[in-house]
Amino acid sequence: MFAPVNEQMDIIRSRVVDIIPEDELVKKLENSIKTKTAITIKFGCDPSRPDLHLGHSVVLWKLREFQELGHIPILIIGDFTGMIGDPSGKSKTRPSLSMEETRKNGQTYLEQATKILIKDKVRILYNSDWLAKMNFEDVIKLASKYTVARMLERDDFEKRYRSGEPISVHEFLYPLAQAMDSVYIKNDIEIGGSDQKFNLLVARDIQREFGIEPQVIMTLPILAGTDGKEKMSKSLNNYIAFMDSPQDIYGKTLSIPDNLIKEYFIYATNKSKAELQEIIKTIDDPNNNPRNSKRALARELVKIYYDEPTAQDAEREFDQIFIQKQLPDEIPEFKISASQLTEMNLVQLLVKTNLMPSNGEARRLIQQGGLSIDGNKIEDINAKAPSLPEFIIKAGKRKFVKIIIQ
């Protein structure tokens, strides 16, 4: 049923930062083979935002490897812990979400995660199912199992404490609440980004306090965003989302710095070891134009989240717009009456057509020179639409709409 331990470990060790402790993982795999029982791998999903991006894919690809080895990932949707807000890597207290908000965001996770994971080989649980049942006495007993000194060993807490930034008491409860997830499901492994190492170690300690065999922890690299500087994040607008359009995935990939091409191939795709060796050899070849490798990466990412024909179409459309300076073959249409149009300016029209999410972002787009109508750049934030029966708006690099006056 399972491959030999050494074969499994060769796959498991690849592309990880830490396995703590590795000898315990080997024992769990040996026992798994002996008892013909799959091991369980916990991954906690923070539903503070509804969309997954390539940063999340690093962990999901590792979970996919575990699935192919015959083991079972358990995705814990943190609808309860999301109300606290994960303080990992944050210099300030995060705003809390309501249960309704975390549940709504969490509902999209399975649909998106199964673009990588095998759907019928994954379990989905919501931690409100057990955490919401704890009473105040339970919380006090849990809090007694960990010290403030240990909490302040955490880098982000220590930095905030030394700089005088407030640390709310409820933030200390986040790693403890997350640890109770591991107590409840009794998982063998917990996996996460390297910024989650402290939380994962706390869960290992709390499992032991409850008389449960402690989990092995596995951390993976943090993927840099498209800016090449910060961690990929929606709040920093340097992300490529699973649900982005094929054109956006392709175009955003083409915008990454050259030094990220290799990293994205290694951590954000499912290329085999042999394939990666050839790709890296090509990237490192001084005669290779990095743009060619970047185009191959862009096609691969679109293929993962859509399919091969869509990837080819996205590349063709990119070339058509940015190299040949032509319009895309298909442009969405927006019909509006002449009377309605005269009552609004272009900022309002951009929001009305969903080209921009808000008036403020629409104004910034115009101020930065990112708006054009029929190829003519618009620089006046108070400008109105032209008096034409129809015209094409281009917002930013890849968004188009044809306005048709009824």
The DSSP-derived string for 8-45 is HHHHHHTT-SEEETHHHHHHHHHHHHHHT---EEEEEE
* 233 band by pLDDT with thresholds 50, 70 and 90: confident
Q: Which two tokens stand for residue 115?
A: 């673009």
Q: Is residue 281 part of a domain?
A: yes
* 236 band by pLDDT with thresholds 50, 70 and 90: confident
- pLDDT at residue 95, as a whole number: 58
Q: Edge-to-edge, what's the strand order for the sheet holding 371-373?
A: 333-336, 399-405, 390-395, 371-373, 376-377
Cβ–Cβ contacts within 10 Å for residue 177, how many? 21
Q: Is residue 225 part of a domain?
A: no
Lowest mean pLDDT among 9-18, 26-35, 40-49, 322-331: 322-331
Count of domains forming the chain: 3
CA distance 380 to 106: 41
- Most confident option among 206-215, 361-370, 381-390: 206-215
Residues 165 and 65 in one domain: yes
Q: Give me the count of residues in the chain.
A: 406
* 325 band by pLDDT with thresholds 50, 70 and 90: confident
- pLDDT at residue 81, as a whole number: 82
Q: Is residue 235 part of a domain?
A: no
State the residue range of the domain holding 113.
5-220
Residues 84 and 185 in one domain: yes
Q: Is residue 230 part of a domain?
A: no
SS3 assignment, position 209: helix
Q: Edge-to-edge, what's the strand order for the sheet holding 123-126?
A: 18-20, 216-220, 189-193, 40-45, 72-77, 123-126
The pLDDT of 33-56, averaged and rounded, is 89
The rounded mean pLDDT for the chain is: 89
CA distance 105 to 93: 20
- pLDDT at residue 92, as a whole number: 47
Residue 333 has pLDDT above 70, yes or no: yes
Residue 316 has pLDDT above 50, yes or no: yes
* 85 band by pLDDT with thresholds 50, 70 and 90: low
C-alpha torsion sign, points 266, 267, 268, 273: positive
- pLDDT at residue 374, as a whole number: 83
Q: Which two tokens stand for residue 311?
A: 């990837």
Eight-class DSSP state of 215 = P
CATH code of residue 54: 3.40.50.620
Lowest mean pLDDT among 146-160, 188-202, 306-320: 146-160
Q: Is residue 237 part of a domain?
A: no
pTM: 0.79
Q: Is residue 301 part of a domain?
A: yes
CATH code of residue 289: 1.10.240.10
Residues in CB range of 333: below 8 A, 6 or more apart = 401, 402, 403, 404
- pLDDT at residue 29, as a whole number: 97
CA distance 41 to 71: 8
- Most confident option among 50-54, 96-100, 110-114, 225-229: 225-229
Residues 346 and 282 in one domain: no
The 3-state secondary structure of 339-393 reads: HHHHCCCHHHHHHHCCCCCCHHHHHHHHHCCCEEECCEECCCCCCCCCCCCEEEE
Residues 23 and 126 in one domain: yes
- pLDDT at residue 90, as a whole number: 47
Out of 168, 202, 220, a domain closes at 220
- pLDDT at residue 93, as a whole number: 46
* 207 band by pLDDT with thresholds 50, 70 and 90: very high
Residues 46 and 148 in one domain: yes
> Which residue did the predictor score with more confidence, 397 or 297?
297
Residues 205 and 286 in one domain: no
> Which residue did the predictor score with more confidence, 294 or 328?
294
Residues 173 and 297 in one domain: no
Q: Using one digit for the tens of pLDDT, what is the confidence trace for 352-379?
A: 999 998 999 899 999 988 898 888 889 8
Residue 260 has pLDDT above 70, yes or no: yes
- pLDDT at residue 145, as a whole number: 92
C-alpha 354: how far from its chain's center?
Answer: 23
CA distance 348 to 187: 51
The answer to whether the bond into 21 is cis (omega within 30° of 0) is yes
Amino acid identity for residue 64 in this structure: R
Residues 359 and 397 in one domain: yes
Q: Is residue 241 part of a domain?
A: no
Q: Is residue 43 part of a domain?
A: yes
Q: Using one digit for the tens of pLDDT, what is the confidence trace for 262-277?
A: 999 999 999 998 999 9
Residue 395 backbone dihedrals phi, psi, to 5 degrees: -115, 115
Residues 12 and 159 in one domain: yes
- pLDDT at residue 111, as a whole number: 84
